[in-house]
Amino acid sequence: MKKTFFRALIAVLFFNAAIAQQLKSPNSKLQMEFSLQSDGTPIYSLNYKDKAVIKPSKLGFYLKDDTKSLLNDFAVIDTKTTIFDETWKPVWGEVASIRNHYNELAVTLNQKGTDRQMIIRFRLFDDGLGFRYEFPQQKNLVYFTIKEERTQFAMAGDHTAYWIPGDYDTQEYNYTTSKLSEIKSLMEKAYTTGNVSQTSFSPTGVQTSLMMKSADGLYINLHEAALINYSCMHLNLNDKNFVFESWLTPDSHGDKGKMQTPCNTPWRTIIVSDDARAILASKMTYNLNEPSKIKETSWIKPTKYVGVWWEMISGKSSWSYTDEFPAVQLGVTDFTKAKPNGKHGATTANVKRYIDFAAKNGFDAVLVEGWNTGWEDWFGNAKDYVFDFVTPYPDFDLKGLNEYAHSKGIKLIMHHETSGSIRNYERHMDDAYKLMKQYGYDAVKSGYVGSILPLGETHYSQWTNNHYQYAIEKAADYQIMVNAHEAVRPTGIARTYPNLIGNEAARGTEYQAFGGERNHPNHVTILPFTRLIGGPMDYTPGIFQMDVTNGSHVNATIANQLALYVTMYSPLQMAADFPENYERFADAFQFIKDVAIDWDDSKYLEAEPGQYITVARKAKGTNNWFLGNVNGETPRTSNIDFGFLEKGKKYTATIYADAKEADYKTNPQAYTIRKITVSNKSKLTQLSVPGGGYAISIIEIKK
């Protein structure tokens, strides 16, 4: 009797061990548990310091034309655990080196009746959890189509969320701050019209990266990493039980993924901490991507630039050369016989003016938009052969301007707007990149404005995402850096392809000039918690003239605009305003000239999503620091401790701050500049007005 009981007990313990696995982070603050429900459904949960982050949540897939799908009837047939710890050096970044330290659990599942296998791989870091699905090569699962991915994130309460509406075609929304239970009632107001391509899907659908804060003080971020050959993941909320479920972007047939084994999904990521600063400092998204596939990277250089862009955005100039033609045909329309409209921005004379300004003030490059033929009817016509990316307008001297720029130590940045015609871009891509190499361009700003062609595809489907990746890899073959606008939001791929030096993929400065609903004053206090989790943003800061040509108004102070060069991390930073506006405020412009764009270290000093961010960064290869603070809609006083400075050193701190009377609506150009001497023992109390902030250059005093 005793022997029988003992054997039964051993069997129960072994069975439980097979279906319940626990994994702890290296510092043991995070604990993940994986198990199978009684019907063989895989579930996981996550705790942080014994607080629930993710309650038991289901995993799996609905497959097209497959009644069983990959949802249940699984048995665990193997588990493997691994400890991994390395330090790697990014080509560019917020820090000189990144530690990649995690504990891993890989669970191999076999589905009863189908003999199909699926591996779920979990990596638990000190700052969060990443997991993905892997499908080994196998005879019973070769080609399959995903109808939907069932990845759940069961939240532990009605958290405060910082969200934008789910959309297959744009991320360019202002953020809404609300309880999860309020998302449905606020969706209509949050889904502002005006974007040139929009496709919503659910009254409770939101986009990643999603930032949340729990009532008991946990900061939780949901996103994905390494989005390769897969569709972009949105989240759809059940607002009764606060369970988010993955919602993949469909292709033109309504399918959400065409798969062939062996293959895997992107990583699903949960970053969590009880300190908001730790969310901003997390490098987990990068760590879940593969190391650089570009071996020789000396040609990838952080860049500070100006450009012929804000002229068109603000209504002063046009992209098009002529108003004579209602439509143009490349190779047929003779632009040399057309009457110029007198508003064209990309003229030889105007570009030379920007080149001279860049050279005089220590910039690296000049972006020029509207240089190539086709802008007269480029948008809204579902036009396939819209641009050829090699033919300049008659008033743009392609060869001469490059020679002039190079003589001044300046490079030009190419602009490739595709108007969403992906096939056309791929058709011309090699010739376009060859032209860039011929004339010494080493960076391109690409754009995907409007509906994707072929019609029926969207901006974030698997097919379109594969195009973005193709463009990055093709550019790397030509040693060209890419700054993609209107492309899918980044997911850390810049670790693998560091020539992806910039992205837009969110509501940037341009919306300040579009009229209607402009960027909220606290917009830049949310973006680093959301959009920037996956990679840097080409936000195009530096606007000094807040009342722009077309009558719109920029919701920021000058001090706020200066701070963005530090708080909105990017190795690609634009001084977006007109040269004459910088000349009017030359003392404030000095900070933009001085601020670094590549860093050895970063210290997040203060942070609260939607309210404020203060960060100090150490310039690459120097002992100089730059500090930025951006503030939301409530006036606030910072208390800064300079303990991050090197002991025994003294520094000159030049503080660019809001004047007491500054106001982002009525008095945005009121600022003060003062100099003080600081050391690692110094402290600073500094005011930030609503929509304001401050910026500090901290330069070592050489003995």
Phi, psi (degrees; rounded to nearest 5) at 145: -115, 130
Report the distance separating Cα 621 and Cα 605, nearest Å: 22
Report the distance separating Cα 73 and Cα 36, nearest Å: 9
Residue 614: predicted pLDDT: 98
For residues 410 and 306, is the Cβ–Cβ distance under 8 A? Answer: no
Residue 354: predicted pLDDT: 98
Rg (CA), the chain: 26
For residues 305 and 574, is the Cβ–Cβ distance under 8 A? Answer: yes
Residue 192: predicted pLDDT: 86
510 is catalytic: yes
Report the distance separating Cα 612 and Cα 633, nearest Å: 9
User: How far is residue 661 CA from its own chain's centroid?
Assistant: 34
SS3 369: coil
565's CB contacts (< 8 A; 6+ apart) are: 541, 542, 573, 591, 592, 595, 597, 626, 628, 695
Tell me the C-alpha to C-alpha distance, in Å, between residue 158 and each of 31, 169, 186, 513.
22, 28, 15, 36
Residue 599 has pLDDT above 60, yes or no: yes
For residues 661 and 688, is the Cβ–Cβ distance under 8 A? Answer: no
| Tokens read off for 486 | 């209107």
Residue-wise DSSP of 615-661: EEEEETTSS-EEEEEEE-SS-EEEEEE-TTSPTT--EEEEEEEE-TT
CA angle 72, 73, 75 (to 5 degrees): 110
Strand residues in 486-569 grouped as ranges (E)? 500-503
561: number of Cβ within 10 Å: 30
Residue 19: predicted pLDDT: 58
- Percent of the chain residues past pLDDT 90, beyond the cut: 95
Closest alpha carbon to 451 in 27, 167, 44, 135: 167
Closest alpha carbon to 304 in 404, 410, 401, 398: 410
Residue 194 has pLDDT above 80, yes or no: no
Sign of CA dihedral 542, 546, 551, 552: positive
Element (DSSP H or E) covering residue 559: helix 558-567
pLDDT (average), residues 335-349:
97
Pairing of strands 98-111, 258-260: unpaired
For residues 259 and 228, is the Cβ–Cβ distance under 8 A? Answer: no
Residue 6 has pLDDT above 80, yes or no: no
The H-assigned helical ranges of 416-543 are 422-439, 462-477
Report the distance separating Cα 602 and Cα 617, nearest Å: 4
Burial class, 6, CB count within 10 angstroms (exposed 0-12 / middle 13-18 / buried 19+): exposed
CA angle 634, 670, 686 (to 5 degrees): 50
Residue 398: predicted pLDDT: 96
> Model confidence at 607, in pLDDT bands (50, 70, 90)?
very high
pLDDT (average), residues 371-389:
96
Q: What is the pLDDT of residues 52-78, one digit of tens each?
A: 999 999 999 999 999 899 999 999 999
Q: Tally the residues of the chain.
A: 703
Q: Which of 149, 510, 608, 633 is catalytic?
A: 510
Residue 3 has pLDDT above 60, yes or no: no
Q: What is the pLDDT of residues 231-267, one digit of tens each?
A: 999 999 999 999 999 999 999 999 999 999 999 999 9
First vs last C-alpha separation in the chain: 86
| Tokens read off for 645 | 């400075």
Average pLDDT score over the chain: 96
Residue 445: predicted pLDDT: 98
Report the distance separating Cα 41 and Cα 8, nearest Å: 24
pLDDT (average), residues 270-299:
98
SS3 245: strand
Residue 516: predicted pLDDT: 78
> Model confidence at 703, in pLDDT bands (50, 70, 90)?
confident
Helices and strands in the chain: count of H runs, count of E runs: 12, 36
Residue 11 has pLDDT above 60, yes or no: no
| Tokens read off for 64 | 């097209």
Report the distance separating Cα 530 and Cα 506, nearest Å: 10
> Model confidence at 281, in pLDDT bands (50, 70, 90)?
very high
> Model confidence at 7, in pLDDT bands (50, 70, 90)?
very low
Residue 559 has pLDDT above 90, yes or no: yes
Residue 587's identity, in one-letter code, is D
3's CB contacts (< 8 A; 6+ apart) are: none
Instruction: Tell me the angle at which helices 422-439 and 462-477 cross, rounded to the nearest 10 degrees.
Output: 20
Report the distance separating Cα 223 and Cα 229, nearest Å: 17
Residue 404: predicted pLDDT: 98
SS3 268: strand
> Model confidence at 678, in pLDDT bands (50, 70, 90)?
very high
| Tokens read off for 79 | 């588990």
Element (DSSP H or E) covering residue 583: helix 579-584
pLDDT (average), residues 577-598:
98
Q: What is the pLDDT of residues 517-558, one digit of tens each?
A: 899 999 999 999 999 999 999 999 999 999 998 889 999 999
Residue 439's identity, in one-letter code, is Y
Residue 13 has pLDDT above 50, yes or no: no
Q: Which region, left, alpha or beta, applies to residue 320 given φ > 0 means left and ψ of -120 to 50 means alpha? A: beta
Quote the longest CA-to-CA distance of the chain.
103
SS3 362: coil
pLDDT (average), residues 569-575:
98
Residue 102: predicted pLDDT: 98
Residue-wise DSSP of 140-163: TBSEEEEEEE--EEEESS--EEEE
Sign of CA dihedral 690, 207, 223, 596: negative
Residue in the block written with tokens 């999603």 = 210
